[in-house]
Amino acid sequence: MKADQYVTVAREGTHESEINRSRFLCSLAPAATEQEAQEFIARVRKEHPAATHNCYAYVIGADASVQKASDDGEPGGTAGVPMLQMLTRRDIRYAVAVVTRYYGGVKLGAGGLIRAYGGVVGEALDVLGTVTRHRYRLATVTVDHQRAGKTQNDLRSTGRAVLDVRYGEAVSIEIGLPEAEVEGFRAWLADVTAGTAGFELGGEAYAEG
């Protein structure tokens, strides 16, 4: 069962906290694929070559099918895992977090590290913000040129997301529909176009809304 919606990071950014003289910089970014997540991690490491640790966690997939975490030299389970747990507890998907630590001379102990690494990810999510993306079905409405303008206006006035318009012998208007509204939309479309519009369901995608 695919998730009907998921939450992700609104934008790339960095949030810094100081805990017992250690600097913790949490860099967050949206990541559509595992490769994008790995590239972001490599970029952050390159920006902070003198850091004591660059620990990371990422979650890819609307159903969180890919989850990876690294302690990068911190005691096992004290950095990457609490970072990952913070992401999954907040239902964050398609996102990567890297926490860069500059050691300040005071040992935090295992419990302190877990709180620090998990906490700075939570703070960064609050500061940078999140967006919710909903699953919808792609669909194509086909109408003749005379009706195209009015149909597009009708679609927009009822809050439908018009994704693309293609002009050929007929006009194809690509839209996104929540799964639950497909049948009701069919009836509405037949009504407003006097039964002349074509309607074809496509694949699935996610969008803000």
> For 159-203, what is each residue's pLDDT tens digit?
888 889 999 999 999 998 888 889 999 999 999 999 999 999 988
The domain segmentation of the chain, as residue ranges, is: 5-128, 133-208
Could you give the residue ranges of the DSSP H alpha helices within the chain?
Answer: 34-47, 80-89, 109-128, 145-157, 182-192
Residue 21 has pLDDT above 50, yes or no: yes
pLDDT classification of 4: cutoffs 50, 70, 90: confident
Q: Do 68 and 8 form a contact (C-beta atoms < 8 A)?
A: no
State phi, psi for 7 to the nearest 5 degrees. Answer: -110, 140
* 5-128 classified as CATH 3.40.980.20: no
pLDDT tens figures, 52-84 = 999 999 999 988 999 999 999 999 999 999 999
Q: Do 33 and 60 form a contact (C-beta atoms < 8 A)?
A: yes
What are the DSSP calls for 102-135, one per residue? E--S---HHHHHHHHHHHHHHHHHHHH-EEEEEE
**Which among 104, 51, 49, 110 is positioned nearest to 79, based on CA atoms?**
110
Residue whose tokens read 């970072």:
83
- What is the structure's pLDDT at 83? 98
pLDDT tens figures, 109-153 = 999 999 999 999 999 999 999 999 888 889 999 999 999 999 999
pLDDT classification of 209: cutoffs 50, 70, 90: low
**Which among 45, 18, 43 is positioned nearest to 120, based on CA atoms?**
18
User: Which fold does the domain 133-208 belong to in CATH?
Assistant: Alpha-Beta Plaits (3.30.70)
CATH topology of 5-128 equal to that of 133-208? Answer: no
- What is the token pair recorded at 17? 């906290």
